[in-house]
Structure 1
Protein backbone atom coordinates (compact mmCIF):
# COMPACT_ATOMS: atom_id res chain seq x y z
CA UNK A 1 0.00 0.00 0.00
CA UNK A 2 1.37 3.42 -1.01
CA UNK A 3 1.72 5.94 1.80
CA UNK A 4 3.39 9.29 2.49
CA UNK A 5 4.59 12.13 0.29
CA UNK A 6 7.74 12.16 -1.82
CA UNK A 7 9.80 14.76 -3.64
CA UNK A 8 11.95 13.78 -6.64
CA UNK A 9 14.99 15.91 -7.42
CA UNK A 10 14.27 16.03 -11.13
CA UNK A 11 16.65 17.03 -13.92
CA UNK A 12 14.58 15.47 -16.69
CA UNK A 13 17.36 13.00 -17.43
CA UNK A 14 17.41 9.22 -17.62
CA UNK A 15 18.18 8.68 -13.95
CA UNK A 16 15.71 11.13 -12.45
CA UNK A 17 12.96 10.02 -14.85
CA UNK A 18 13.52 6.44 -13.69
CA UNK A 19 13.39 7.66 -10.10
CA UNK A 20 10.13 9.47 -10.78
CA UNK A 21 8.57 6.24 -12.03
CA UNK A 22 9.95 4.42 -8.99
CA UNK A 23 8.50 7.03 -6.64
CA UNK A 24 5.05 7.10 -8.25
CA UNK A 25 4.78 3.36 -7.73
CA UNK A 26 5.62 3.61 -4.03
CA UNK A 27 4.26 6.86 -2.61
CA UNK A 28 0.78 8.24 -2.37
CA UNK A 29 1.73 11.78 -3.40
CA UNK A 30 4.73 12.74 -5.55
CA UNK A 31 6.04 16.05 -6.83
CA UNK A 32 9.28 17.15 -8.46
CA UNK A 33 11.81 19.94 -8.08
CA UNK A 34 14.11 21.09 -10.89
CA UNK A 35 17.08 23.46 -10.67
CA UNK A 36 17.99 26.11 -13.22
CA UNK A 37 21.66 26.79 -12.46
CA UNK A 38 22.77 28.22 -15.79
CA UNK A 39 23.55 24.83 -17.32
CA UNK A 40 24.30 25.00 -21.04
CA UNK A 41 22.13 21.92 -21.62
CA UNK A 42 19.08 23.93 -20.58
CA UNK A 43 16.85 21.73 -22.70
CA UNK A 44 16.76 19.41 -19.69
CA UNK A 45 14.56 21.94 -17.87
CA UNK A 46 12.07 21.93 -20.74
CA UNK A 47 12.09 18.13 -20.79
CA UNK A 48 11.66 17.94 -17.01
CA UNK A 49 8.51 20.04 -17.26
CA UNK A 50 7.24 17.91 -20.15
CA UNK A 51 7.79 14.59 -18.36
CA UNK A 52 6.31 15.85 -15.09
CA UNK A 53 3.19 16.98 -16.93
CA UNK A 54 2.90 13.66 -18.77
CA UNK A 55 3.16 11.76 -15.49
CA UNK A 56 0.70 14.10 -13.74
CA UNK A 57 3.03 15.45 -11.07
CA UNK A 58 3.69 19.03 -10.04
CA UNK A 59 7.07 20.45 -11.05
CA UNK A 60 8.71 23.40 -9.30
CA UNK A 61 11.72 25.09 -10.92
CA UNK A 62 14.16 26.96 -8.67
CA UNK A 63 16.66 29.41 -10.15
CA UNK A 64 20.24 29.40 -8.83
CA UNK A 65 22.29 32.24 -10.30
CA UNK A 66 25.27 31.66 -8.01
CA UNK A 67 26.60 28.73 -10.06
CA UNK A 68 27.05 30.99 -13.10
CA UNK A 69 29.12 33.35 -10.95
CA UNK A 70 31.31 30.49 -9.72
CA UNK A 71 31.70 29.30 -13.32
CA UNK A 72 33.82 26.27 -12.39
CA UNK A 73 32.40 23.61 -14.70
CA UNK A 74 32.12 22.80 -18.39
CA UNK A 75 28.40 22.25 -17.79
CA UNK A 76 28.10 26.01 -17.26
CA UNK A 77 31.01 27.52 -19.21
CA UNK A 78 30.49 26.71 -22.88
CA UNK A 79 34.12 27.52 -23.71
CA UNK A 80 35.44 24.58 -21.69
CA UNK A 81 36.01 21.11 -23.12
CA UNK A 82 33.37 18.78 -21.67
CA UNK A 83 35.70 15.80 -22.12
CA UNK A 84 38.70 17.31 -20.33
CA UNK A 85 39.75 17.25 -16.68
CA UNK A 86 38.30 19.76 -14.24
CA UNK A 87 40.28 22.98 -13.93
CA UNK A 88 40.56 22.93 -10.12
CA UNK A 89 39.93 19.24 -9.42
CA UNK A 90 42.38 17.48 -11.73
CA UNK A 91 41.15 14.01 -10.74
CA UNK A 92 37.55 14.82 -11.75
CA UNK A 93 35.89 15.41 -15.16
CA UNK A 94 35.31 18.95 -16.44
CA UNK A 95 31.55 18.41 -16.05
CA UNK A 96 31.87 18.29 -12.24
CA UNK A 97 30.06 21.21 -10.56
CA UNK A 98 31.56 21.67 -7.06
CA UNK A 99 28.98 21.26 -4.28
CA UNK A 100 26.10 21.06 -6.77
CA UNK A 101 24.43 18.05 -5.20
CA UNK A 102 24.97 19.40 -1.68
CA UNK A 103 23.15 22.60 -2.64
CA UNK A 104 20.43 20.84 -4.64
CA UNK A 105 19.70 18.36 -1.85
CA UNK A 106 19.77 21.08 0.80
CA UNK A 107 17.23 23.16 -1.09
CA UNK A 108 15.12 20.07 -1.76
CA UNK A 109 15.21 19.32 1.98
CA UNK A 110 14.02 22.86 2.78
CA UNK A 111 11.27 22.60 0.13
CA UNK A 112 10.19 19.25 1.54
CA UNK A 113 9.80 20.78 4.99
CA UNK A 114 7.62 23.54 3.54
CA UNK A 115 5.44 21.00 1.72
CA UNK A 116 5.22 18.50 4.57
CA UNK A 117 7.08 15.85 2.55
CA UNK A 118 8.81 12.99 4.38
CA UNK A 119 10.86 11.45 1.54
CA UNK A 120 13.28 12.80 -1.06
CA UNK A 121 14.28 10.68 -4.04
CA UNK A 122 17.59 11.37 -5.79
CA UNK A 123 19.05 9.78 -8.92
CA UNK A 124 22.68 9.44 -7.87
CA UNK A 125 24.70 6.26 -8.44
CA UNK A 126 28.14 5.28 -7.23
CA UNK A 127 28.29 2.54 -9.87
CA UNK A 128 28.04 4.82 -12.93
CA UNK A 129 28.85 8.11 -11.25
CA UNK A 130 31.38 9.54 -13.76
CA UNK A 131 33.85 10.18 -10.97
CA UNK A 132 31.62 12.57 -9.03
CA UNK A 133 32.30 12.16 -5.29
CA UNK A 134 28.91 13.67 -4.39
CA UNK A 135 27.10 10.71 -5.98
CA UNK A 136 28.30 8.20 -3.39
CA UNK A 137 26.36 6.68 -0.50
CA UNK A 138 28.60 8.05 2.31
CA UNK A 139 28.00 11.60 1.06
CA UNK A 140 24.22 11.12 0.86
CA UNK A 141 24.08 9.51 4.31
CA UNK A 142 26.18 12.27 5.87
CA UNK A 143 24.15 15.05 4.26
CA UNK A 144 20.83 13.52 5.29
CA UNK A 145 22.02 13.32 8.88
CA UNK A 146 23.37 16.89 8.87
CA UNK A 147 20.26 18.40 7.30
CA UNK A 148 17.93 16.62 9.69
CA UNK A 149 20.05 17.64 12.67
CA UNK A 150 20.12 21.24 11.48
CA UNK A 151 16.36 21.49 11.04
CA UNK A 152 14.99 19.05 13.61
CA UNK A 153 13.45 17.10 10.74
CA UNK A 154 13.18 13.40 9.94
CA UNK A 155 13.25 13.40 6.15
CA UNK A 156 14.61 10.30 4.45
CA UNK A 157 16.71 10.37 1.29
CA UNK A 158 16.21 7.47 -1.13
CA UNK A 159 18.71 6.66 -3.90
CA UNK A 160 17.19 3.69 -5.78
CA UNK A 161 19.95 3.78 -8.43
CA UNK A 162 22.87 3.92 -6.00
CA UNK A 163 24.15 0.42 -6.80
CA UNK A 164 22.85 0.10 -10.37
CA UNK A 165 24.78 0.58 -13.60
CA UNK A 166 23.18 2.20 -16.65
CA UNK A 167 21.98 -1.13 -18.09
CA UNK A 168 20.24 -1.92 -14.80
CA UNK A 169 18.79 1.59 -14.75
CA UNK A 170 17.22 1.01 -18.16
CA UNK A 171 15.82 -2.27 -16.82
CA UNK A 172 14.39 -0.50 -13.77
CA UNK A 173 12.77 2.14 -15.97
CA UNK A 174 11.09 -0.67 -17.88
CA UNK A 175 9.90 -2.30 -14.66
CA UNK A 176 8.54 0.98 -13.30
CA UNK A 177 6.72 1.77 -16.55
CA UNK A 178 8.69 4.83 -17.67
CA UNK A 179 11.08 3.43 -20.28
CA UNK A 180 9.19 5.17 -23.09
CA UNK A 181 9.60 8.52 -21.31
CA UNK A 182 13.30 7.81 -20.81
CA UNK A 183 13.82 7.13 -24.53
CA UNK A 184 11.46 9.70 -26.04
CA UNK A 185 11.57 12.59 -23.57
CA UNK A 186 14.50 12.53 -21.15
CA UNK A 187 17.71 14.48 -21.75
CA UNK A 188 21.21 13.74 -20.44
CA UNK A 189 23.49 15.06 -23.21
CA UNK A 190 26.01 17.53 -21.79
CA UNK A 191 26.15 19.37 -25.12
CA UNK A 192 22.41 20.01 -25.08
CA UNK A 193 21.74 18.11 -28.31
CA UNK A 194 18.06 17.17 -28.36
CA UNK A 195 17.74 16.97 -32.14
CA UNK A 196 19.46 13.66 -32.90
CA UNK A 197 17.57 10.60 -31.70
CA UNK A 198 19.23 7.23 -31.18
CA UNK A 199 17.83 3.90 -29.94
CA UNK A 200 18.80 4.99 -26.41
CA UNK A 201 17.33 8.49 -26.71
CA UNK A 202 18.41 11.99 -27.74
CA UNK A 203 21.97 13.27 -27.65
CA UNK A 204 25.20 14.13 -29.43
CA UNK A 205 26.51 10.54 -29.12
CA UNK A 206 30.01 11.75 -28.16
CA UNK A 207 29.95 13.51 -24.78
CA UNK A 208 30.61 11.41 -21.64
CA UNK A 209 26.92 11.34 -20.68
CA UNK A 210 25.87 10.09 -24.12
CA UNK A 211 28.63 7.48 -24.27
CA UNK A 212 27.65 6.12 -20.85
CA UNK A 213 23.97 6.05 -21.76
CA UNK A 214 24.63 4.37 -25.12
CA UNK A 215 26.81 1.67 -23.53
CA UNK A 216 24.14 1.05 -20.88
CA UNK A 217 21.44 0.69 -23.52
CA UNK A 218 23.48 -1.78 -25.56
CA UNK A 219 24.16 -3.90 -22.47
CA UNK A 220 20.49 -3.70 -21.47
CA UNK A 221 19.43 -4.95 -24.91
CA UNK A 222 22.02 -7.76 -24.86
CA UNK A 223 20.76 -8.94 -21.50
CA UNK A 224 17.15 -8.65 -22.68
CA UNK A 225 17.93 -10.77 -25.76
CA UNK A 226 19.54 -13.42 -23.57
CA UNK A 227 16.47 -13.52 -21.31
CA UNK A 228 14.17 -13.83 -24.29
CA UNK A 229 16.19 -16.48 -26.13
Structure 2
Protein backbone atom coordinates (compact mmCIF):
# COMPACT_ATOMS: atom_id res chain seq x y z
CA UNK A 1 0.00 0.00 0.00
CA UNK A 2 1.42 3.40 -0.99
CA UNK A 3 2.13 5.98 1.68
CA UNK A 4 0.07 9.16 1.85
CA UNK A 5 2.09 12.36 2.15
CA UNK A 6 1.15 16.00 2.52
CA UNK A 7 3.26 18.28 0.29
CA UNK A 8 3.45 21.94 1.23
CA UNK A 9 2.92 23.37 -2.22
CA UNK A 10 3.58 27.06 -2.79
CA UNK A 11 3.20 26.95 -6.56
CA UNK A 12 6.89 27.66 -7.05
CA UNK A 13 9.56 25.71 -8.86
CA UNK A 14 10.87 23.68 -5.92
CA UNK A 15 7.54 22.58 -4.47
CA UNK A 16 6.24 21.87 -7.98
CA UNK A 17 9.12 19.47 -8.50
CA UNK A 18 8.58 17.98 -5.04
CA UNK A 19 4.88 17.45 -5.69
CA UNK A 20 5.56 15.47 -8.85
CA UNK A 21 8.49 13.60 -7.34
CA UNK A 22 6.20 12.33 -4.57
CA UNK A 23 3.73 11.09 -7.16
CA UNK A 24 6.50 9.51 -9.23
CA UNK A 25 7.58 7.56 -6.16
CA UNK A 26 4.10 6.14 -5.85
CA UNK A 27 2.82 8.22 -2.94
CA UNK A 28 -0.76 9.36 -2.54
CA UNK A 29 -0.35 13.14 -2.43
CA UNK A 30 -2.36 15.84 -0.70
CA UNK A 31 -1.21 19.35 -1.62
CA UNK A 32 -1.47 22.11 0.97
CA UNK A 33 -0.95 25.79 0.16
CA UNK A 34 -1.04 28.85 2.39
CA UNK A 35 -2.12 32.44 1.89
CA UNK A 36 -0.06 34.27 4.51
CA UNK A 37 -0.44 37.69 2.92
CA UNK A 38 2.52 37.24 0.57
CA UNK A 39 2.86 39.90 -2.11
CA UNK A 40 3.46 37.12 -4.67
CA UNK A 41 0.07 35.56 -3.95
CA UNK A 42 -0.32 34.76 -7.64
CA UNK A 43 1.79 31.67 -6.94
CA UNK A 44 -1.39 30.22 -5.44
CA UNK A 45 -3.16 30.57 -8.80
CA UNK A 46 -0.46 28.42 -10.35
CA UNK A 47 -0.77 25.89 -7.53
CA UNK A 48 -4.53 25.62 -7.99
CA UNK A 49 -4.23 25.15 -11.74
CA UNK A 50 -1.60 22.42 -11.46
CA UNK A 51 -3.54 20.45 -8.85
CA UNK A 52 -6.82 20.77 -10.72
CA UNK A 53 -5.24 19.56 -13.97
CA UNK A 54 -3.47 16.66 -12.24
CA UNK A 55 -6.41 15.67 -10.06
CA UNK A 56 -4.43 16.18 -6.84
CA UNK A 57 -6.43 16.94 -3.66
CA UNK A 58 -5.55 20.52 -2.79
CA UNK A 59 -6.36 22.83 0.09
CA UNK A 60 -5.50 26.51 0.34
CA UNK A 61 -5.49 27.78 3.93
CA UNK A 62 -5.85 31.50 4.60
CA UNK A 63 -3.60 32.45 7.51
CA UNK A 64 -3.23 36.09 6.47
CA UNK A 65 -4.73 37.11 9.81
CA UNK A 66 -1.41 36.08 11.35
CA UNK A 67 0.26 38.97 9.55
CA UNK A 68 0.51 40.94 12.77
CA UNK A 69 2.83 38.29 14.24
CA UNK A 70 4.69 37.55 11.01
CA UNK A 71 5.45 41.16 10.10
CA UNK A 72 8.45 43.01 8.74
CA UNK A 73 9.36 40.83 5.76
CA UNK A 74 9.74 42.19 2.25
CA UNK A 75 7.44 39.32 1.19
CA UNK A 76 4.53 40.55 3.30
CA UNK A 77 5.11 44.28 3.90
CA UNK A 78 5.32 47.36 1.72
CA UNK A 79 9.10 47.05 1.55
CA UNK A 80 11.18 46.77 -1.61
CA UNK A 81 12.16 43.20 -2.43
CA UNK A 82 15.98 43.06 -2.50
CA UNK A 83 17.75 42.05 -5.68
CA UNK A 84 20.70 39.73 -6.09
CA UNK A 85 21.77 36.33 -4.75
CA UNK A 86 20.60 34.61 -1.59
CA UNK A 87 24.14 34.70 -0.22
CA UNK A 88 23.91 38.48 0.03
CA UNK A 89 23.02 39.87 3.45
CA UNK A 90 20.26 42.03 1.97
CA UNK A 91 18.19 38.90 1.27
CA UNK A 92 17.52 38.57 5.01
CA UNK A 93 14.77 41.10 4.36
CA UNK A 94 12.76 38.25 2.79
CA UNK A 95 12.67 36.19 5.99
CA UNK A 96 9.08 35.81 7.27
CA UNK A 97 9.27 35.31 11.05
CA UNK A 98 8.73 31.66 12.01
CA UNK A 99 6.95 30.93 8.74
CA UNK A 100 8.00 27.33 8.21
CA UNK A 101 7.40 26.30 11.81
CA UNK A 102 3.84 27.62 11.52
CA UNK A 103 3.24 26.03 8.12
CA UNK A 104 4.71 22.68 9.13
CA UNK A 105 2.65 22.63 12.33
CA UNK A 106 -0.56 23.21 10.38
CA UNK A 107 0.47 20.68 7.75
CA UNK A 108 1.11 18.12 10.48
CA UNK A 109 -2.42 18.59 11.75
CA UNK A 110 -3.72 18.08 8.23
CA UNK A 111 -1.54 14.99 7.84
CA UNK A 112 -3.16 13.42 10.89
CA UNK A 113 -6.60 14.24 9.49
CA UNK A 114 -5.73 12.86 6.04
CA UNK A 115 -4.03 9.75 7.37
CA UNK A 116 -0.64 10.82 5.98
CA UNK A 117 2.59 9.57 7.47
CA UNK A 118 4.76 12.48 6.40
CA UNK A 119 4.85 16.15 5.46
CA UNK A 120 7.23 17.13 2.66
CA UNK A 121 8.46 20.66 2.02
CA UNK A 122 10.88 22.12 -0.48
CA UNK A 123 13.70 23.51 1.64
CA UNK A 124 17.00 23.12 -0.20
CA UNK A 125 20.71 23.79 0.09
CA UNK A 126 20.54 27.19 -1.56
CA UNK A 127 18.26 28.45 1.23
CA UNK A 128 20.62 27.66 4.11
CA UNK A 129 22.55 30.91 4.08
CA UNK A 130 19.49 33.09 4.64
CA UNK A 131 16.62 31.04 6.07
CA UNK A 132 17.14 29.37 9.48
CA UNK A 133 13.95 27.35 8.98
CA UNK A 134 15.41 25.70 5.88
CA UNK A 135 18.50 24.30 7.57
CA UNK A 136 19.11 20.64 8.47
CA UNK A 137 19.02 21.23 12.23
CA UNK A 138 15.59 22.84 11.97
CA UNK A 139 14.20 19.96 9.92
CA UNK A 140 15.65 17.40 12.33
CA UNK A 141 14.06 19.05 15.35
CA UNK A 142 10.70 19.62 13.66
CA UNK A 143 10.71 16.00 12.58
CA UNK A 144 11.37 14.88 16.16
CA UNK A 145 8.59 16.97 17.68
CA UNK A 146 5.99 16.16 14.99
CA UNK A 147 6.57 12.45 15.53
CA UNK A 148 5.44 12.81 19.17
CA UNK A 149 2.94 15.70 18.97
CA UNK A 150 -0.04 13.42 18.22
CA UNK A 151 -1.03 9.81 18.72
CA UNK A 152 -0.12 9.36 15.05
CA UNK A 153 3.55 10.08 14.31
CA UNK A 154 4.11 12.38 11.34
CA UNK A 155 7.57 12.70 9.77
CA UNK A 156 8.87 16.02 8.46
CA UNK A 157 10.93 15.48 5.33
CA UNK A 158 12.86 17.84 3.07
CA UNK A 159 14.06 15.64 0.18
CA UNK A 160 15.96 18.52 -1.47
CA UNK A 161 17.91 19.51 1.65
CA UNK A 162 21.30 18.60 0.14
CA UNK A 163 20.51 19.96 -3.35
CA UNK A 164 20.73 23.34 -5.02
CA UNK A 165 18.25 24.80 -7.50
CA UNK A 166 20.08 23.37 -10.50
CA UNK A 167 19.96 19.85 -9.05
CA UNK A 168 16.25 20.25 -8.26
CA UNK A 169 15.63 21.34 -11.84
CA UNK A 170 17.54 18.28 -13.04
CA UNK A 171 15.09 16.09 -11.10
CA UNK A 172 12.18 17.86 -12.73
CA UNK A 173 13.65 17.57 -16.21
CA UNK A 174 13.89 13.80 -15.71
CA UNK A 175 10.14 13.88 -15.05
CA UNK A 176 9.54 16.06 -18.15
CA UNK A 177 7.91 18.76 -16.03
CA UNK A 178 6.62 21.97 -17.58
CA UNK A 179 8.00 24.85 -15.53
CA UNK A 180 5.78 27.39 -17.23
CA UNK A 181 3.24 26.08 -14.70
CA UNK A 182 5.17 27.61 -11.80
CA UNK A 183 5.66 31.07 -10.34
CA UNK A 184 8.84 31.94 -8.46
CA UNK A 185 9.18 35.74 -8.50
CA UNK A 186 8.77 37.50 -5.16
CA UNK A 187 7.08 40.43 -6.90
CA UNK A 188 3.44 39.80 -7.79
CA UNK A 189 3.39 41.60 -11.11
CA UNK A 190 2.23 40.31 -14.51
CA UNK A 191 5.75 39.21 -15.42
CA UNK A 192 8.57 37.90 -13.29
CA UNK A 193 10.99 40.69 -12.41
CA UNK A 194 14.14 38.69 -13.19
CA UNK A 195 16.13 40.52 -10.50
CA UNK A 196 14.96 39.35 -7.08
CA UNK A 197 16.92 36.53 -5.45
CA UNK A 198 14.31 33.97 -6.37
CA UNK A 199 14.32 34.95 -10.05
CA UNK A 200 18.12 35.16 -10.23
CA UNK A 201 18.57 31.70 -8.76
CA UNK A 202 15.89 30.23 -11.02
CA UNK A 203 17.33 31.71 -14.21
CA UNK A 204 20.82 30.56 -13.31
CA UNK A 205 19.50 27.02 -12.80
CA UNK A 206 18.05 26.94 -16.31
CA UNK A 207 21.23 28.43 -17.76
CA UNK A 208 23.27 25.71 -16.05
CA UNK A 209 21.32 23.18 -18.08
CA UNK A 210 21.62 25.18 -21.29
CA UNK A 211 17.93 26.04 -21.21
CA UNK A 212 15.84 29.20 -21.28
CA UNK A 213 13.31 29.61 -18.49
CA UNK A 214 9.80 29.40 -20.02
CA UNK A 215 8.43 32.15 -17.75
CA UNK A 216 7.99 35.62 -19.28
CA UNK A 217 10.34 38.19 -17.71
CA UNK A 218 10.11 41.96 -17.60
CA UNK A 219 13.55 42.35 -19.18
CA UNK A 220 12.87 39.90 -22.01
CA UNK A 221 11.61 42.49 -24.50
The within-5 A match list for 1:78-89 is: 79-83=78-82
Deviations 1:43-68, CA, capped at 9 Å, x for gaps: 01111101111222011011113432
Give the distance between the partners of 2:149 and 2:27, measured in 1 at CA: 27
Name the structure 1 match of 2:194: 205
Name the structure 2 match of 1:4: 3
Give the distance between the partners of 2:127 and 2:171, measured in 1 at CA: 15
Q: Does 1:122 align with 2:121?
A: yes
Q: Does 1:74 align with 2:63?
A: no
Give the distance between the partners of 1:92 and 1:41, measured in 2 at CA: 16
Cα shift at 1:91: 7.8
Give the distance between the partners of 1:211 and 1:129, measured in 2 at CA: 16
Deviations 1:70-122, CA, capped at 9 Å, x for gaps: 32211011x212118xxxxx886111001000000010000000111112111
Cα shift at 1:169: 1.0
Q: Does 1:148 align with 2:151?
A: no
Note if contact 1:118-1:156 (Cα within 8 Å) is conserved in structure 2.
Answer: yes
Shift of the 40–110 alpha-carbon distance from structure 1 to 2, 3 Å rule, reads same
SS at match of 2:109: helix
Gaps of 5+ in 1: 85-89, 197-202, 223-229
Note if contact 2:6-2:119 (Cα within 8 Å) is conserved in structure 1.
Answer: yes
Give the distance between the partners of 2:59 and 2:175, measured in 1 at CA: 23
Q: If the length of structure 2 is used for normalisation, what is the TM-score?
A: 0.86
Cα shift at 1:127: 3.3
Note if contact 2:123-2:161 (Cα within 8 Å) is conserved in structure 1.
Answer: yes
Name the structure 2 match of 1:225: none
Give the distance between the partners of 1:102 and 1:213, measured in 2 at CA: 25
Shift of the 211–130 alpha-carbon distance from structure 1 to 2, 3 Å rule, reads farther
Cα shift at 1:167: 1.0
RMSD: 1.9
Q: Does 1:103 align with 2:102?
A: yes
Number of residue pairs aligned between Structure 1 and Structure 2: 205
Note if contact 2:146-2:156 (Cα within 8 Å) is conserved in structure 1.
Answer: no
Name the structure 1 match of 2:208: 219
Give the distance between the partners of 1:91 and 1:144, measured in 2 at CA: 30
